[in-house]
Structure 1
Amino acid sequence: MMTNLFSSFDPTTSNSLSMNWLSTYLFIMLMPTTFWLIKSRSAMMINIMTNKMNYEFNMILNNKNKGSTILFISLFTLIMMNNTMGLFPYIFTSSSHMVMTLSLALPMWLSFNLFGWINKTNHMFEHLVPMGTPPLLMPFMVCIETISTIIRPGTLAIRLAANMIAGHLLLTLLGNTGNKLNEVLLMSMLTVQLLLLMLESAVSIIQAYVFSVLTTLYSSEIN
């Protein structure tokens, strides 16, 4: 029974063990083994998508550290699959929780900054003062750039979680009013829900793309 507005996003299925988080790897368990052996349309589609993402990330990284694009492509695929699987009924959307999104954003941001401050200390100090800054404004720019750097993992995590929660919450609110509507309003509500579902499908891919591209940009600033 729904006790409050956000109960549909409650990750707890029992008092002792939560099994909902297994949905994070559900697409791996459902993926047939023949996908890796036989050329199918789904395999060709994923290969085209991977090549496009590899090209995009190489452009952002200026063709440096080409092997690192595997990390960002894997991150994009994981988030996109979780967002898309969450659109199906009775499947828990792990990417709508800060536990999941912050666990992805914080280690990436921390590893990039540790690498930069340990190996490229002067370069990291240069980033705190943009080129062309007047000497009078330099102390303020250092404070602003430091704050903007510190809040990056939080903004990444909140952006992804908020976008996933907003669409699912709107679909849930519309669906809960279905038993109180007449035939005309019910058909209208179903039409609106179908349009929202199409929008959420696009948002699932766009948010995964935004998350991975921003992470790549943060990496390129250091490298």
Structure 2
Amino acid sequence: MMTNLFSIFDPTAPPFPPINWLSMMIPILLLPPTLWLKKNKISLLHSNLLLTLHQEAKLLMGPSFSPGSPLLLLAVLWFIMLNNSMGLLPHVFTATSHLLLSISMALPCWLTFLLFGWIKNTNHMFSHLVPLGTPTYLASFMICVETISNLIRPITLSVRLSANMIAGHLIMTLLSSCFSLNTTINMMLLTPEMLLITLESAVAIIQAYVFMVLLTLYSTESH
């Protein structure tokens, strides 16, 4: 039972073992074309959403960053959000539930911010190790705590994303396994299943947004 339950998060599991990882390419097909003679409502919605997110990323980063910096974070957000949403479709592997993908996104970004901060703004990075107002006798202890906190950031970023994706899918799998030939039982399970799918859709968007915001906050510490 447990092997069958967790096999939905294995990209080599049936029914489509060779092409399960290709689900990561599906979001590319959903991007609206940019060269329209006349823009439709979907392309306008997409443009307005990206513009709003871009303004928020610029606000969080501040004026010290180059103008193109928020675009990197927007690309990460859009990629995660669409992959999370695609995972709600039948027989589509949720790539973001795999730690290999989530840590491959978190580790390079974190390492880039960390190296940039220590090379370009060494004194500023040292000041972050001791929060403002820390008593002298706690300074050495706070340095250890802040150092560990900085080192585990890529792990917390990736595990948070993967764990939230896995948890909801596990519950949906458990509920769907309870469906039987009894129509009454099926009707009783249908409502919580639909509510759970709605909740998972919201989680897919929220987790992508949280990932982007945390990366933005980590980047501001290095400037």
TM range (shorter): over 0.9
> Under a length normalisation based on structure 2, what TM-score does the superposition of the two structures give?
0.92
Structure 2 spans left out of the alignment, 5+ residues: none
Query: Matched residue of 1:215: which SS?
Result: helix
- 1:58-80 CA distance string (max 9 Å, x none): 11112332310000110100000
CA contact under 8 A between 2:117 and 2:125: conserved in structure 1?
yes
**Equivalents in 2 of 1:187, 1:221: separation in Å?**
52
* 2:203 is the alignment partner of 1:190: no
CA contact under 8 A between 1:83 and 1:164: conserved in structure 2?
yes
**Equivalents in 1 of 2:68, 2:138: separation in Å?**
39
State the number of aligned residues.
Answer: 218
**Equivalents in 1 of 2:87, 2:3: separation in Å?**
21
CA contact under 8 A between 1:13 and 1:19: conserved in structure 2?
no
Alignment correspondent of 2:51 = 51
63-72 or 89-98, larger mean C-alpha shift = 63-72
Alignment correspondent of 2:138 = 137
* 2:70 is the alignment partner of 1:69: yes
CA contact under 8 A between 1:80 and 1:205: conserved in structure 2?
yes
Deviation at 1:140, TM superposition (A): 0.2
Deviation at 1:5, TM superposition (A): 2.2
Query: Matched residue of 2:199: which SS?
Result: helix
**Equivalents in 2 of 1:191, 1:119: separation in Å?**
55
* 2:160 is the alignment partner of 1:159: yes
* Aligned amino acid, residue 8 of structure 1: I
**Equivalents in 1 of 2:163, 2:40: separation in Å?**
35
**Percent identity of paired positions between Structure 1 and Structure 2:** 50
CA contact under 8 A between 2:175 and 2:189: conserved in structure 1?
yes
* Aligned amino acid, residue 108 of structure 1: C
**Equivalents in 1 of 2:122, 2:19: separation in Å?**
44
Q: 1:64 to 1:42 in 2, by over 3 A?
A: farther
Query: Matched residue of 1:35: which SS?
Result: coil
CA contact under 8 A between 2:7 and 2:13: conserved in structure 1?
no
CA contact under 8 A between 1:102 and 1:154: conserved in structure 2?
yes
Alignment correspondent of 2:214 = 214
Deviation at 1:123, TM superposition (A): 1.1
> Under a length normalisation based on structure 1, what TM-score does the superposition of the two structures give?
0.92
Name segments (4+ residues, structure 1) moved above 3 Å. Answer: 1-4
* Aligned amino acid, residue 58 of structure 1: K
Deviation at 1:100, TM superposition (A): 0.7
Deviation at 1:31, TM superposition (A): 3.6
* Aligned amino acid, residue 184 of structure 1: T
* Aligned amino acid, residue 19 of structure 1: I
Alignment correspondent of 2:34 = 36
**Equivalents in 1 of 2:144, 2:213: separation in Å?**
25
Alignment correspondent of 2:79 = 78
**Equivalents in 1 of 2:40, 2:85: separation in Å?**
20
Give the superposed CA RMSD: 1.8
Alignment correspondent of 1:4 = 4
Query: Matched residue of 2:81: which SS?
Result: helix
* Aligned amino acid, residue 133 of structure 1: T
CA contact under 8 A between 1:2 and 1:8: conserved in structure 2?
no
CA contact under 8 A between 1:61 and 1:216: conserved in structure 2?
yes
**Equivalents in 2 of 1:89, 1:112: separation in Å?**
37
Q: 1:126 to 1:85 in 2, by over 3 A?
A: same
